[in-house]
């Protein structure tokens, strides 16, 4: 008989190339025991992180959940879901309130009023403000205050990091999960979930850039002083590299993907001029020889473009000190020398982010790969909520890395409950 899901969390990563379900629970040492995992190809159901075919996505979710359930012997009913895609944007905005009495202490209601005012900002048609994250406050022209509660003052100002996205994308993810006979415990921004799995507390304090290279997009999240300061989505990922190889080497897509994974490198100069890979011809045609150096030149061009866009986001963020460097995760991080190219382009130290720190020994070895950072991060977020809510996953969330206001996408739940047709939000 299958176990119930009490105190067991399932992270569901609905990506462009794969749908992955990871089942985990915390052990007595605070580490995560992975009980099972299911992974299937998306089969075209998701494009650049956004659901583009409901039926295919539902089929992939059901297959991944079934595999994870069988391996873990857990009756899966609720899932923590990630959301990403090029529709996610962020901006900085400043708000201010004037209090009637400067002698009384500033309280949580004052800060909540400031935060609620941010939700009144005008955004693009079809977009909604999904979350408002406080950065710092100014009280009577005294800047740099992290927590002004208890202070006295008349004028209270706040800097906020605001994340927006198309509500139709969130609704479609929710619809796919519900059609799979599952309940959504929470929806989390995927780069924030990945940060839970691969970033250390020292990096979050010193300043760090998380670069999650997925199949359809590259997610960027910049942290400083344990607060998320900037988020961005670059509309390029591993799939476009595969397409570049397909066109540049004149091969089939399946062969292009194999060439990328097995022989690809982000630095062509590191490879021998004479190294050749032979791939079989189509339907009896002669075999084709591919220069590994030429292959890597194609890959390097695209990765360099992605890293230049990352560098632009770093400069655009205004975060001056990033002592923690860059942490690269996701499927694209498995390309050889990608961290070295990132260092060359940005001038910052770089490393590959593995979700090892929070995982117990003896767990599924495959989950230690960077491609599962988002799934593991979703499990970690769910366990944080479970500790607060006593195991029913309905209580208030703790404050994960970079968040001062609780769960990142609690605002989505409000919109999901509205009696509004999804089509009304589409541009």
- For residue 277, which phi and psi values (nearest 5 degrees)? -115, 135
Rounded Cα distance, 7 and 400, in Å: 18
Rounded Cα distance, 133 and 74, in Å: 35
pLDDT on residue 422: 39
Select the CATH number that applies to the domain covering 89-164 from these four: 3.30.1490.110, 3.40.50.170, 3.40.50.720, 3.40.228.10.
Answer: 3.30.1490.110
List Cα–Cα distances, 267 to 194, 264, 335, in angstroms. Answer: 26, 9, 10
Q: What does DSSP say about strands 288-291 and 183-189: parallel, antiparallel, or unpaired?
A: unpaired
60-80 pLDDT per residue, tens: 999 999 999 999 899 999 999
Rounded Cα distance, 357 and 23, in Å: 17
pLDDT on residue 386: 67
124 token code pair: 């693009």
* CATH fold group of domain 9-86+167-200+357-425: Nucleotidyltransferase; domain 5 (3.30.420)
In the chain, which stretches have pLDDT less than 70? 1-6, 362-364, 386-427
E strand or H helix at 194, and its extent? helix 190-198
Longest CA span, the chain: 86
Terminal C-alpha separation, the chain: 47
Rounded Cα distance, 235 and 157, in Å: 34
**Closest by Cα among 12, 54, 87, 82 to 172:** 54
**Closest by Cα among 209, 409, 426 to 323:** 209
pLDDT on residue 316: 87
Rounded Cα distance, 259 and 342, in Å: 21
Asked whether this chain's domains 9-86+167-200+357-425 and 201-354 adopt the same fold, the reply is yes
Domain 201-354 - what CATH class? alpha beta
pTM score of the predicted model: 0.83
pLDDT on residue 342: 96
> What is the dihedral sign for C-alpha 351, 355, 361, 367?
negative
Map residue 337 onto helix, strand or coil: coil
Rounded Cα distance, 312 and 334, in Å: 23
Are 342 and 326 spatial neighbours (Cβ–Cβ below 8 Å)? yes
List Cα–Cα distances, 4 to 1, 8, 60, 78, 391, in angstroms. Answer: 9, 8, 23, 11, 12
Rounded Cα distance, 82 and 103, in Å: 44
Rounded Cα distance, 305 and 130, in Å: 29
Domain boundaries of the chain, sorted by first residue: 9-86+167-200+357-425, 89-164, 201-354
Rounded Cα distance, 409 and 4, in Å: 26
pLDDT on residue 419: 42
């Amino acid at each position: 008989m299958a176990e119930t899901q009490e105190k067991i969390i399932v992270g569901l990563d609905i990506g462009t190339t794969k749908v992955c379900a990871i089942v985990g629970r915390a052990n007595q040492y605070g580490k995560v025991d992975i009980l099972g995992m299911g992974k299937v190809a998306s089969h075209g159901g998701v494009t650049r992180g956004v659901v583009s075919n409901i039926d295919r996505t539902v089929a992939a979710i059901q297959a991944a959940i079934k595999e994870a359930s069988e391996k873990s012997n857990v009756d899966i009913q609720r899932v923590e879901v990630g959301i990403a895609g090029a529709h996610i944007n962020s901006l900085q905005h400043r708000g201010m309130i004037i209090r009637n009495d400067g002698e009384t202490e500033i309280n949580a209601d004052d800060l909540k009023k400031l935060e609620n005012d941010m939700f009144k900002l005008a955004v693009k048609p079809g977009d909604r403000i999904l979350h408002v994250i406080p950065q710092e406050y100014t009280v009577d022209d005294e800047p740099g205050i992290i927590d002004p509660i208890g202070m006295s003052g008349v004028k209270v100002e706040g800097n906020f990091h605001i994340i927006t996205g198309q509500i139709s994308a969130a609704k479609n993810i929710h619809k796919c999960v519900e059609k799979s006979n599952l309940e959504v415990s929470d929806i989390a921004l995927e780069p924030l979930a990945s940060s839970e799995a691969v970033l250390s507390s020292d990096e979050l304090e010193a300043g760090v850039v998380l670069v999650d290279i997925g199949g359809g997009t590259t997610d960027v999240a910049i942290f400083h002083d344990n607060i998320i300061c900037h988020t961005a989505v670059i509309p390029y990922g591993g799939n476009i590299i595969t397409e570049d190889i397909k066109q540049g080497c004149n091969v089939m897509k399946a062969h292009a993907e194999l060439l990328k994974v097995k022989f690809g490198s982000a630095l062509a100069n590191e490879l021998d001029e004479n190294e050749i890979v032979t791939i079989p011809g189509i339907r009896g045609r002669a075999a084709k020889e591919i220069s590994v150096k030429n292959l890597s030149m194609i890959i390097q061009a695209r990765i360099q473009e992605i890293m230049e866009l990352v560098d632009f986001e770093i400069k655009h963020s205004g975060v001056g000190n990033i002592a923690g460097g860059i942490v690269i995760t996701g499927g694209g991080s498995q390309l050889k020398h990608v961290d070295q190219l990132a260092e060359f382009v940005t001038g910052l130290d770089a490393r590959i982010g593995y979700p090892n720190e929070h995982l117990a020994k003896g767990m599924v070895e495959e989950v230690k790969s960077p491609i599962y950072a988002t799934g593991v991060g979703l499990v970690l977020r769910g366990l944080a909520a479970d500790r607060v809510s006593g195991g029913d996953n309905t209580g208030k969330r703790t404050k994960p890395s970079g968040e001062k206001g609780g769960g990142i996408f609690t605002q989505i739940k409000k919109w999901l409950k509205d009696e509004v047709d999804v089509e009304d939000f589409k541009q």
